[in-house]
Amino acid sequence: MPLDEIEKKVSDRYAKAASTGEQMCCPTSYDMANLKSFIPEEVLKISYGCGTPAGLKTVSAGETVLDIGSGGGIDCFEASRLVGPTGRVIGIDMTDTMLEIARRNAVIVAGNLGYPSSNVEFRKGMADAMPVTDGTIDLIISNCVINLAPDKRKVFREMFRVAKLGGRFTISDIVADQPVPQYLIHDAEKWGDCLSGALTLTDYLAGMAEAGFIGIHLIKSSPWQRIDGIHFFSVTLTGYKLPATASAPSPRHATLRGPFSRVVDERGTTYLRGIPQALTVESARLLSQPPFAPLFVLSQDPLTLNQADPRWTAVLPEQTPCVWKGDFALLAGPFLEAQDDDHHVFRRGEPMEICDKTLKVLETDGYAPHFAILNRAGEPVGGATTSCTPGGGCC
């Protein structure tokens, strides 16, 4: 199916939904009671997405926020409230009906917030050719929209182009646990349902990294639909466009605390738990970002940790037989590869089947933020216990 035909069908589908009130696409859980206090009902009833609202907990007053696929404007209006009257919000959408609704309500929202004028601007444009100046955006958000773009790698490059040095993105989208087959890709109806355009998590993360973003990591995930054996699930991801220089003197060494026994970062550097690793200036800037802070000790001088040190962390499975229940774990950053204490090697985005004991490990506080968990069993599993090693260790 030609790309322009896909774009037209998706735009027409969302224009129709705006007129009829049809519920579209993705899982969402907006706090409507709060939003109703300043956003008109006309906007709330046509709000679709799979994150709530993605990334806005990190917004500071005065920042500039870009919303890709702004629709009726719900996330832009919430961003407007959070950045304050000195901040700025830009919404981009390709559907005239949505833009008309958003623009009509922008003045109303500004009045409800007590602003002298609206700090939100809505522009018509495509996600892969955004009408935004280079290097002007502090935070890019998007709520179940990039999935609808035929060329997602071009979208990721556009995101990197418009982000400031030191800027970031937080986006929610639908991904799949395996490649979507051609018969779904060419099903126009399922494009609007956030199915046909889904990338695998591996390809999604790789596309962002290729664009130049770093420190890409999972905020949350949740299952959505299973169709013909393909699992579609919602993920919210954050990543950074690193600043050109550090704001303070850079640490010279990093020591992995755990719970992983070994990790490989996005630059290919390997860190072993407890062993200090010399840092480049760029690596120091990377490890200073929020997703790494709980996992490393940064220092000027080499610092070795051992199991007696309270900063050392490890989570061991129960020494009992395993049960296989159909669970699969997907590492979702901020590492390309990570290993636990039972020698499982997880590669970013790739589903790995895990037993019940490993699942319990990955559900602990140290591991859980880094994994999406799916269950591929079609019905409850009553499998027998299995001793994976002579000593009863994990698989």
Tens-place pLDDT, residues 26-44: 555 677 778 899 999 999 8
Q: What pLDDT sits at residue 186?
A: 77
Q: Is 287 or 45 the better-scoring residue by pLDDT?
A: 287
From the list 205, 150, 155, the residue with the least C-alpha distance to 175 is 205
The CB density around residue 4, as the number of other CB atoms within 10 Å, is 9
Q: What pLDDT sits at residue 51?
A: 53
Q: What pLDDT sits at residue 15?
A: 47
Q: pLDDT digit string (tens) for 53-80?
A: 667 888 999 999 999 999 999 999 999 9
pTM recorded for the entire structure: 0.89
Of these ranges, 11-15, 16-20, 386-390, the one predicted with the greatest mean pLDDT is: 386-390
Q: Choose the CATH number for 3-240 among 3.10.180.10, 3.10.560.10, 3.40.50.150, 3.40.50.720.
A: 3.40.50.150
CA gap 313, 260 in Å, rounded: 8
Q: What pLDDT sits at residue 7?
A: 54
Question: How distant is the alpha carbon of residue 99 from its chain centre?
Answer: 25
Domain extents for the chain?
3-240, 248-378
**pLDDT above 70 coverage of the chain, percent:** 85
Q: pLDDT digit string (tens) for 291-303?
A: 999 999 999 999 9
Question: Is residue 3 pLDDT above 80, yes or no?
Answer: no
Q: pLDDT digit string (tens) for 320-373?
A: 888 999 999 999 989 999 999 999 999 999 999 999 999 999 999 999 999 999
Mean pLDDT of 199-205: 96
Question: Is residue 121 pLDDT above 90, yes or no?
Answer: yes
Q: What pLDDT sits at residue 276?
A: 98
The overall average pLDDT reported for the chain is 88
The rounded radius of gyration (Å) of the Cα atoms in the chain is 22
Confidence of residue 246 (pLDDT cuts 50, 70, 90): low
CA gap 232, 225 in Å, rounded: 5
Q: pLDDT digit string (tens) for 165-191?
A: 999 999 999 999 999 888 888 776 665
